[in-house]
Amino acid sequence: MERTLAILKPDCVRQNLAGKVIDKILAGGFRIVALKMVKLTTDTAGAFYAVHKERPFFNDLVKFMSSGTCIPLVLEKQNAVTAFRELIGATDPAQAVAGTIRREFASSKQENIVHGSDSPENANLEISFFFSNKELVENN
């Protein structure tokens, strides 16, 4: 079984879409291993997205991710990283496939509702950024 990190971003929480997005995640066959609500500071958002530090969108991303409450989740499923990225769709909701989370709920490429890990290695790093091992529920 593989794990991935999802983050319901501030736009998702602000628009009260968290329940609908979680419903789609569960309908997609994922098991929630951990979930919490957090308010990222610019420092913590910057540390999480440090891999993008040299990209032109970095400052806007950090500002956006620290603009409100986020909900990080650890999800489990066979091929969780790939399956979740398929479920959420392309970064730009206009290019996302019909039925994906971003196509249904996102308003723009920047405010795109949800983050998903891009590899199993990054998933492990990202999970440990938000959750300790004792917070991961092994069996529900």
Q: H helices within the chain, ranges in order?
A: 10-14, 18-27, 42-48, 58-65, 80-88, 101-105, 120-130
Triad 57, 59, 64: Cα angle to 5°: 95
Chain-centre distance of CA 71, in angstroms?
Answer: 8
Closest residue by Cα to residue 117 from 107, 129, 106: 129
Active site residues: 115
**Are the C-beta atoms of residues 106 and 48 closer than 8 Å to each other?**
no
